[in-house]
Structure 1
Amino acid sequence: MAKELGVDIGGTKIRIAIVEQDGRLSFDKKIPTELPLYPYLEQQLLGVLADHPEIEAIGIGTHGFIDPVKGYVIYATETLPGWTGTPVKRLLEKATGRRVEVDNDANCAALAEAKFGAAKGYSRIVCLTLGTGLGGGILWDGKLLNGGPHGGAAEIGHMILHPGGVRCTCGRRGCFEQYLSGTALKRKIWEAELKISPQQLFESAQSDKQAARISDEFTTDLAVAISTLQAAFDMEVLVIGGGVSDSAPLWIDQMTEKLKGLQLHPLDIRIAHFGNEAGVLGAALLVQDNG
Structure 2
Amino acid sequence: MEKVLGVDIGGTKIRMGIIDASGQIIYEEKIPTIIPLYPYLEENILRILVEQPEVQAIGIGTHGFVDPKQGKVIYAAETLPGWTDTPVKEWLEKATGKRVEVENDANVVALAEAKFGAAQGLNRVVVLTLGTGLGGGVIWDGKLLSGGPHGGAAELGHMILYPNGVKCACGRLGCSEMYVSGTALQRRIKEAGLPVTPPELFENAKTDPAANKVVEEFTADLALVISSLQAAFDMEMVIIGGGVSEAADLWMASLQEKLATVLLNPVPVEVARFENDAGILGAALLVLEN
Normalising by structure 1, what TM-score?
0.97
Match of 1:13 in 2: 13
Secondary structure, in 3 states, of the residue corresponding to 2:82?
coil
Aligned partners of 2:66 and 2:73 also within 8 Å: yes
The amino acid across from 1:198 in the alignment is: P
Map Cα deviations across residues 140-169 of structure 1 (whole Å, 9 max, x no partner): 112111111111100000001111110000
Asked whether 1:228 is paired with 2:233, we answer: no
Match of 2:167 in 1: 167
Secondary structure, in 3 states, of the residue corresponding to 1:256?
helix
For residue 2 of structure 1, report the CA deviation from its aligned partner.
Answer: 3.0
Map Cα deviations across residues 261-289 of structure 1 (whole Å, 9 max, x no partner): 21111211111111111101100000111
How many angstroms apart in 2 are the aligned matches of 1:250 and 1:15? 27
CA RMSD, aligned part only? Answer: 1.0
Secondary structure, in 3 states, of the residue corresponding to 1:249?
helix
Secondary structure, in 3 states, of the residue corresponding to 1:26?
strand
Secondary structure, in 3 states, of the residue corresponding to 1:277?
helix
Match of 2:275 in 1: 275
Match of 1:217 in 2: 217
Match of 1:100 in 2: 100
The amino acid across from 1:216 in the alignment is: E
For residue 253 of structure 1, report the CA deviation from its aligned partner.
Answer: 1.2
How many angstroms apart in 2 are the aligned matches of 1:254 and 1:29? 36
Match of 1:55 in 2: 55
How many angstroms apart in 1 are the aligned matches of 2:226 and 2:53? 44
Aligned partners of 2:2 and 2:20 also within 8 Å: no
How many angstroms apart in 2 are the aligned matches of 1:212 and 1:50? 51
Match of 2:131 in 1: 131
How do 1:14-53 and structure 2 match up within 5 A?
A: 14-53=14-53
Map Cα deviations across residues 20-42 of structure 1 (whole Å, 9 max, x no partner): 22221111121122221111111
Map Cα deviations across residues 169-202 of structure 1 (whole Å, 9 max, x no partner): 0111111101111111111111111111110112
Map Cα deviations across residues 60-96 of structure 1 (whole Å, 9 max, x no partner): 0000000000000101111111111100000111111
How many angstroms apart in 1 are the aligned matches of 2:153 and 2:240? 19
How many angstroms apart in 1 are the aligned matches of 2:37 and 2:254? 42
Secondary structure, in 3 states, of the residue corresponding to 2:56?
strand
The amino acid across from 2:37 in the alignment is: L
For residue 130 of structure 1, report the CA deviation from its aligned partner.
Answer: 0.7
How many angstroms apart in 2 are the aligned matches of 1:262 and 1:189? 25
For residue 209 of structure 1, report the CA deviation from its aligned partner.
Answer: 2.1
Normalising by structure 2, what TM-score?
0.97
> Which is worse superposed, 194-203 or 153-162?
194-203
Match of 1:197 in 2: 197
How many angstroms apart in 2 are the aligned matches of 1:234 and 1:6? 30
